[in-house]
Amino acid sequence: MMSATSSSAKTSNGGYSSGDYESQLTLEEEQKERDHFQKVIDAFRYYRIHSMKRIATAEKQFNEIPTRQQRLVPSFGDTSLRLQQAVEQNYAVVKKIIQSTDMLFENRSFPLDASTVNEVPDNKPKEFDMDKVRTTLKQLARDWSDAGAVERECCYAPVIRELLNIYPKECISPNIKVLVPGAGLGRLAYEIARLGFTCQGNEWSFYMLCAANFVINRCDMVNQYLLYPWVHQYNNNRTRESQLASCSFPDRNPSAVPPGSKFSMAAGDFLEVYTEPDTWNCVATVFFIDTAHNVIDYIETIYRILQPGGCWINLGPLLWHYSDQPDESSVELTYEEVRAVITSIGFEFLKESRSHPATYTQNPESMLKYQYDCVFFVVRKPS
């Protein structure tokens, strides 16, 4: 388990013990899980080689244009060197991430042999896997650096404000249990725990879990590490400095939480890990419900695990993650249809906004930005 304090490391906050989820896994499923975990580690290990190859390709293509044209961009050689230096710095962080061995979560453990960190993986990772590594580095900037402050204010702050509206400061206590599915690198869950709630984040992606484990359990100083989150962005750069912009993380000491705060992370599929009914006082989801194969499963599970009178706070778009993916099922509903399911299952709407602009891991200096027009709602399970 990840936790902010040693005391919470011994606390099970989700109404289940470490063995409950593990006992559900067959030997074959457990082996598949470990194989997938090794695949993720291999992708992290391959980061430097893969990134340097991309820089070399850019160099080769530039050197193939006429010399007179090369002279028009005299800074290109220096840029190439700076890109390499940025990748080396990122790789230093990546090595720290995968050297954080014996990852312990609330319900699972994943031992890793750190001696393999510098080896080239036997099986070359696919571009899809390398994109996950790059996304994880950008997520570090979003969740744990000053560079992500604007996005966090847009996406996390409304959830926290609503939580404090439901539970005013004088009512906050560790007896109020908040669950954050799709917790990513754990920043929202950390901020909720820092207020004095018992909070558990849940994450399925091993890429995110590895990085979250490193930040929460291995970082103990503010701005301890330097990162270049946009170094892999070769398109839509207004200036070279925007591609080479750096940030430091973590912007807040993850271990600095009030005494008695209970903060943990649980690894695994949300639908499989959380089966205990009437357990949580609040569920907070940000950019999460569209990660479902079948969103109705998510809604039914949230309703079941909430205590009577408990609330669900949600913010996010409907970018169905499995849409059009080969061999993956995907139930793609409109928001009107999702809303109808929510009310049919029994939730009562307390608050709703159908237009909440937000971005996700965007380079603020990029010439191209994607903006989601999210929905934000608060619903309650009747008492």
* pLDDT value of position 28: 82
Q: How far is CA 326 from CA 17, 297, 329, in A?
A: 36, 21, 8
pLDDT in tens, the chain (383 residues): 444 332 333 233 333 333 344 545 678 877 888 888 889 999 999 999 999 999 999 999 999 999 999 999 999 999 999 999 999 999 999 999 998 755 555 555 555 555 555 557 778 999 999 999 999 999 999 999 999 999 999 999 999 999 999 999 899 999 999 999 999 999 999 999 999 999 999 999 999 999 999 999 999 999 999 999 999 999 999 999 999 999 999 999 998 777 777 999 999 999 999 999 999 999 999 999 999 999 999 999 999 999 999 999 999 999 999 999 999 999 999 999 999 999 999 999 999 999 999 999 999 999 999 999 999 999 999 99
* pLDDT value of position 93: 98
Pick left, alpha or beta for residue 214 (phi over 0 → left; psi -120 to 50 → alpha; otherwise beta).
alpha
* pLDDT value of position 20: 46
Where residue 50 sits, what CATH number does that domain have? 3.40.50.150
* pLDDT value of position 108: 58
Do 380 and 362 contact (CB within 8 A), yes or no?
no
Number of structural domains the chain divides into: 1
> Which residues have CB under 8 Å from 63's CB, separation 6+?
70
* pLDDT value of position 2: 46
Do 312 and 302 contact (CB within 8 A), yes or no?
yes
C-alpha 342/C-alpha 360 separation (Å) is: 25
Range(s) of the domain holding residue 375: 2-11+19-380
pTM of structure: 0.90
Count the neighbouring beta carbons within 10 Å of the beta carbon of residue 248: 16
* pLDDT value of position 118: 57
